[in-house]
């Protein structure tokens, strides 16, 4: 019998009871499925710890390099000592020729080569001369490239300034005037939001958000695959079709995932950055306000996709396919403005794109929630749209499943 004859308050209570019933049953289903429990709880707790432990150093120090000094003069040896004194590189090998240095590089004993020409000292002493220092960088890792190029630039600029001071003093200027002439404009480098220029501070905040997204997506798709493999229980509760309301079924299950990941979000986005010294200058209350639409959008998006999952293993294929792609599409590791137009619009389909950018704005750059309102509003829109698509997907795929079941009885 329909409940329309009851007053609105009682009908509302019945609907809330239905949602609560679905919510409890879904939590039980998660706990009893060991694979999903591992993804939700073990991976959700371990992965945010694992990545900061692996990338616990902000940068690479004392990168081993080789030097070929064809000049072999006091000035060239001073240049090499200055290079080795930097934090970024360590001149570990001094080679007779470039072929010897190349052999060390190919043997992976060094990650770069600096070559000083035979006329190094002569070109510096000659008015109008220009010494050319060749730097061969290891591009197999951008950290190797960054270290060697940065150290070489620092030494070159410092060396260049010393030569200028010497020439100005020889021209009859005193030391203060020579310093002004050598550097008429003072400048100061300020590295905003990542003072140490570290790799973890740059990338890990984005990865923490992606961990939440990917583990929830993987777990929900696994649950759907298992339900399909066990007599279509994606649309059933306690062995019978839950016909009261598709919305109550979808919302009850989605709220179960939301509850679990709300606690994991406090841990991953609030506690982990403080444990490992990652950027955390934003207001934690703004972060949690952001988390609400992000988790809802992720849950309903995952449920929408899960309608098309037929086997448990399909979830693993989707996870492997999307992990690296979503990191690039977020615009964190590669500027979103440099992506082709198609991929920029394609990235808007995923809650992780807006979640990563909004979290970095608040947590790393110290923005308020109103200053990242575009991403915040987009997440709420995605939550509403994907709630609708999940309900439609459950409804129509459930009708198709019942029709197919009657045909094969």
Question: Would residue 100 count as lying in a domain?
Answer: yes
Same-domain check for residues 165 and 21: no
Residue 41 per-residue DSSP state? I
Q: What is the mean pLDDT of residues 347-374?
A: 93
C-alpha–C-alpha distance, residues 149 and 132, integer Å: 15
Same-domain check for residues 357 and 295: yes
> Contact, 361 vs 372, CB < 8 A?
yes
Q: What is the mean pLDDT of residues 376-389?
A: 96
Q: Give the residue numbers spanning the domain of 156.
A: 63-182
Same-domain check for residues 17 and 95: no
Query: pTM to 2 decimals?
Result: 0.82
> Contact, 151 vs 133, CB < 8 A?
no
Over residues 264-287, the pLDDT tens digits come to 999 999 999 999 888 889 899 999
* 112-116, strands of its sheet edge to edge: 89-95, 63-69, 112-116, 134-137
> Which of 129, 150, 182 marks a domain boundary?
182
Over residues 164-192, the pLDDT tens digits come to 777 777 777 877 887 777 777 777 777 78
What total number of domains does the chain contain?
A: 2
Over residues 118-145, the pLDDT tens digits come to 988 888 877 667 888 999 988 887 778 8
What's the mean per-residue pLDDT of the chain? Answer: 85
C-alpha–C-alpha distance, residues 211 and 205, integer Å: 10
pLDDT at 1 over 50: no
Same-domain check for residues 79 and 221: no
Same-domain check for residues 326 and 224: yes
Same-domain check for residues 206 and 172: no
Same-domain check for residues 136 and 238: no
Q: Tell me if residue 112 falls in helix, strand or coil.
A: strand
pLDDT at 2 over 70: no
Same-domain check for residues 21 and 81: no
Identify the CA nearest to 332 among candidates 358, 298, 350.
358
Same-domain check for residues 224 and 348: yes
Spatial CB neighbours of 64, under 8 Å, sequence gap ≥ 6: 89, 90, 92, 93, 109, 110, 111
- What does the longest C-alpha to C-alpha distance in the chain come to? 105
Q: So what's the pLDDT on residue 235? A: 59
Looking at residue 105, which CATH number applies to its domain? 3.40.190
Question: Would residue 45 count as lying in a domain?
Answer: yes
Same-domain check for residues 51 and 110: no
Question: Would residue 340 count as lying in a domain?
Answer: yes
Over residues 201-259, the pLDDT tens digits come to 888 899 999 999 999 999 998 888 887 776 555 655 554 555 557 888 899 999 999 99
Same-domain check for residues 140 and 206: no
C-alpha–C-alpha distance, residues 157 and 136, integer Å: 18
Tokens representing 381 are 């829109």
């Amino acid at each position: 019998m329909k409940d329309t004859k009851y007053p609105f308050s009682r009908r509302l209570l019945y609907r809330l009871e239905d949602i609560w019933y679905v919510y409890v049953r879904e939590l039980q289903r998660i706990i009893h499925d060991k694979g999903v429990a591992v993804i939700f709880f073990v991976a959700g707790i371990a992965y945010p710890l694992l990545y900061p432990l692996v990338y616990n150093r902000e940068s690479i120090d004392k990168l081993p390099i080789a030097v070929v000094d064809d000049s072999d003069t006091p000035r060239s040896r001073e240049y090499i000592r200055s290079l080795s004194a930097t934090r970024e590189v360590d001149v570990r090998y001094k080679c007779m020729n470039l072929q010897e240095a190349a052999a060390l590089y190919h043997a992976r004993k060094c990650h770069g080569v600096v070559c000083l020409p035979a006329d190094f000292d002569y070109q510096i002493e000659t008015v109008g001369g220009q010494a050319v220092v060749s730097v061969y960088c290891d591009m197999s890792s951008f950290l190797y490239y960054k270290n060697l190029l940065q150290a070489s630039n620092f030494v070159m600029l410092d060396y260049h300034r010393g030569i200028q001071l010497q020439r100005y003093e020889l021209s009859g200027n005193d030391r203060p005037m020579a310093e002004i002439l050598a550097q008429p404009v003072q400048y100061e480098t300020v590295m905003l939001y990542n003072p140490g220029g570290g790799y973890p501070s740059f990338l890990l905040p984005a990865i923490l958000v992606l961990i939440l997204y990917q583990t929830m997506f993987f777990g929900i798709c696994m649950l759907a695959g298992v339900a399909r493999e066990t007599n279509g229980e994606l649309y059933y509760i306690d062995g019978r079709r839950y016909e009261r309301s598709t919305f109550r079924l979808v919302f009850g299950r989605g709220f179960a995932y939301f509850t679990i990941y709300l606690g994991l979000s406090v841990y991953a986005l609030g506690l982990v950055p403080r444990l490992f010294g990652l950027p955390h200058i934003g207001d934690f209350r703004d972060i949690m306000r952001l988390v609400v639409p992000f988790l809802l959008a992720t849950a309903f998006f995952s449920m929408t996709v899960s309608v098309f999952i037929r086997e448990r293993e399909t979830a693993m294929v989707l996870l492997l396919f999307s992990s690296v792609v979503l990191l690039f599409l977020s615009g964190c590791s590669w500027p979103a403005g440099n992506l082709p137009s198609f991929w920029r619009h394609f990235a808007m389909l995923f809650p992780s794109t807006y979640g990563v950018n909004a979290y970095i704005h608040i947590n790393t750059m110290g923005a308020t929630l109103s200053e990242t309102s575009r991403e915040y509003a987009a997440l709420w829109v995605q939550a509403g749209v994907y709630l609708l698509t999940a309900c439609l997907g459950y409804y129509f795929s459930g009708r198709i499943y019942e029709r197919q079941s009657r045909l094969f009885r």
